[in-house]
Structure 1
């Protein structure tokens, strides 16, 4: 019997979904290893292009990356299957976690997960830096990004430094060969879908008191406006649902946040957990609907955007300054990885948490050998947390 087309690719996507711990910076390194070096579904340069492209878009970066890879290999149908397989394990586990909150209140279980994750982020940043930092100009972009990211700790800085890095490196356009230019044909459908759904949900939220509609609008809005990945989304949603609206208990939220960062796949799956808790007054099936609302609301806008941008990317590359800008965006991405490491490590230093700092360094050194998979490191961290708790 003939093997279904793209089955091997979808299997690799599922394996990554079940084993990719550590957030978007680590996901990038794992995509590089499995999809490029081992399976050769695309080249390093193609992956770097996709990473740079997704970095300047709002929404879940690693989800947009792997969806774009599916789109590149097999069109829209494969892209949607890729998206579904990528998010399903994390969404499923976060939904079950929300149903079982009474068993998850002891956050000591995940006390060692964060240092392991930070060590893997550091290793992924180091790996990317070795590949994209090719001259002093990119070193200065990297250093500038780290400095700005630390001094102005706000999510709105992220897209600005990425765009600025791209603008600076675009002045190197003379290093790139000319291409024959063709008239650009822009398929606007997905962009219109992106903003059309946004406006529809806002208007729906203003004209109805039905809570599930408000919930869908909240998640879609955050998926449309948040740059920087799950580490940025988590505090934004905490401010909205815990501090401002008081709909979720702080300890319940922090438990879900810690759990989402200890699971494989996209950290944005936290919204499925929140959807279940927010729909607690609607019964068991209403809570299940809350999980679906959380996943749809947070992942759809980024999917619409990457479908739109990726389809015009081939046309944009005919301009030399666009191609030249990619290296600057990549250098700024490495800088933002450094900012993420600083954000997590600085509180450890303030508290004098030598164990966590040592674990970050140990994880980084072990990951450098590429002999121990990330899932083994995270499993050991969870086991240690369980034993000591």
Structure 2
């Protein structure tokens, strides 16, 4: 008598499952999630006005609160890590979020989607400089700037609510906000982040020991590539005297050495391209600087504008477009290579208790820096009054900017109005009243 094995055919009357076996559902889910993430990045690239702090506020609202790609603490941690490195902080932050979600391929696509709208608009500005009126552009975006301050204020509120847990964190937040407000120096930001991490590091014994820590292995490829391009571009530009090569070296060097974002980059570029090399005039530089403040996306897209104008002696629109592309690659590439170098061993590094303890202080300082940014961004706004359609005793006007900041903050707190709708409404108001 033969006993049938478990691999024998099923009984003819046995029920048959009509559900097909799953086929790579995990990969398909990741692909769909990556596409949705890139759509969100495109929305941010077209609506994130106001510089790195305002960008962080919109990242927080869309990527954390709405989509939950990462947690609030993770976003602050990544933003602080990027702030410790040279380069465009908001660009590095959103690129590394893409790296976390889908690896290098999604990170590269994230970078391209994030910078393309701003770079295209600033390239167009460089090509049509004589036809642009910066005063009219400023009038069109006059309501966007106070709206961006409202986003930053809301971000400061939400961040403090989520990461401030101890009295030490409160003290670090207040101290860093005051120091960042009164001492607006390029090296102040990384110094405060390092100091905040050092303060809480002394309490590392309170953190849980991870028994199975992954060995710390550093992949040096991106660092060597960054350094090799820096040296190679300098040598090649010196011996060839080709304008595109020298232009690339200029932007790559500045992108490798600047801390603190676009507001720190501007005086460096002015000294090099206006005062030293005379690629463009002072009024042309200031016109472009005003325009980039009115554009969504990264302020480092200013390099595309300068690159387009710097290639005017070569003649032709095509060479100006080449200059814009050279400027864009030169200014964004070093920060991208450096963050790819660090992020590959960051998750292993943060397993150590000393690093875990330092993140408490770094997050608290980050919250303080966002609080300081709220006031720093508000001060340059012009003083404007809103005439009331009725008389309220002796009051017939109200200050407009505080009203716009407060309204934006309350709408975001209400959580019923999308951030994109607020930005579009501000732009439409500028069109109608500009």
State if a TM-score over 0.5 links the two structures. yes
Measured after TM superposition, the shift of residue 357 of structure 1 is: 4.4
**Which of 332, 342, 357 pairs up with 1:299?**
332
The aligned counterpart of 1:260 is: 292
**Would you say the 8 A contact 2:262–2:300 is kept in 1?**
yes
In structure 2, do the counterparts of structure 1 residues 218 and 121 end up closer, same or farther at CA, with 3 Å as the change threshold? farther
In structure 2, do the counterparts of structure 1 residues 208 and 240 end up closer, same or farther at CA, with 3 Å as the change threshold? same
Q: Please say if 1:141 is aligned against 2:169.
A: no
Instruction: Work out the CA distance in 1 between the residues paired with 2:416 and 2:265.
Output: 32
What do residues 74-133 of structure 1 show as CA deviations (whole Å, max 9, x unaligned)? 221221111111111111122122222233223242344333322322222222222222
State which drifts further: 33-42 or 320-329.
33-42
Measured after TM superposition, the shift of residue 199 of structure 1 is: 1.8
What is the root-mean-square deviation of aligned Cα atoms in Å?
2.6
Measured after TM superposition, the shift of residue 60 of structure 1 is: 1.3
**Which of 268, 290, 298 pairs up with 2:323?**
290
The aligned counterpart of 1:192 is: 224
In structure 2, do the counterparts of structure 1 residues 11 and 359 end up closer, same or farther at CA, with 3 Å as the change threshold? closer
The aligned counterpart of 1:50 is: 78
**Which of 244, 247, 269 pairs up with 1:215?**
247
TM-score by length of 2: 0.81
How do residues 217-232 of structure 1 correspond to structure 2 at under 5 angstroms?
217-232=249-264
TM-score by length of 1: 0.89
Instruction: Work out the CA distance in 1 between the residues paired with 2:284 and 2:177.
Output: 32
Matched position secondary structure for 1:196 = helix
**Would you say the 8 A contact 1:21–1:375 is kept in 2?**
no
**Would you say the 8 A contact 2:174–2:368 is kept in 1?**
yes
Structure 1: tracts of 5 or more residues without a match = none
**Which of 135, 147, 158 pairs up with 1:116?**
147
The aligned counterpart of 1:280 is: 312
Measured after TM superposition, the shift of residue 46 of structure 1 is: 3.2
Q: Please say if 1:368 is aligned against 2:413.
A: yes
The aligned counterpart of 1:159 is: 190
Matched position secondary structure for 1:76 = helix
Instruction: Work out the CA distance in 2 between the residues paired with 1:360 and 1:164.
Output: 31
Bigger Rg, structure 1 or 2: 2
The aligned counterpart of 1:81 is: 109
What do residues 251-276 of structure 1 show as CA deviations (whole Å, max 9, x unaligned)? 33233223323322222112112211
**Would you say the 8 A contact 1:105–1:252 is kept in 2?**
no
State which drifts further: 209-218 or 334-343.
334-343
In structure 2, do the counterparts of structure 1 residues 348 and 51 end up closer, same or farther at CA, with 3 Å as the change threshold? closer
Instruction: Work out the CA distance in 1 between the residues paired with 2:122 and 2:110.
Output: 19
Structure 2: tracts of 5 or more residues without a match = 1-24, 386-398
Matched position secondary structure for 2:335 = helix
Instruction: Work out the CA distance in 1 between the residues paired with 2:232 and 2:253.
Output: 11
What do residues 334-357 of structure 1 show as CA deviations (whole Å, max 9, x unaligned)? 2222333333333458x7885444
Which structure's relative contact order is higher, taking Cα pairs within 8 Å and 6+ residues apart?
Answer: 1
Instruction: Work out the CA distance in 2 between the residues paired with 1:139 and 1:63.
Output: 28
Instruction: Work out the CA distance in 1 between the residues paired with 2:186 and 2:61.
Output: 29
**Would you say the 8 A contact 1:162–1:332 is kept in 2?**
yes
**Which of 173, 176, 181 pairs up with 2:207?**
176
Measured after TM superposition, the shift of residue 387 of structure 1 is: 4.4
What do residues 235-266 of structure 1 show as CA deviations (whole Å, max 9, x unaligned)? 43234333444432333323322332332222
Measured after TM superposition, the shift of residue 176 of structure 1 is: 1.5
In structure 2, do the counterparts of structure 1 residues 116 and 11 end up closer, same or farther at CA, with 3 Å as the change threshold? closer
Q: Please say if 1:323 is aligned against 2:356.
A: yes
Instruction: Work out the CA distance in 2 between the residues paired with 1:373 and 1:218.
Output: 40
**Would you say the 8 A contact 2:54–2:152 is kept in 1?**
yes
Q: Please say if 1:12 is aligned against 2:40.
A: yes
In structure 2, do the counterparts of structure 1 residues 159 and 36 end up closer, same or farther at CA, with 3 Å as the change threshold? same
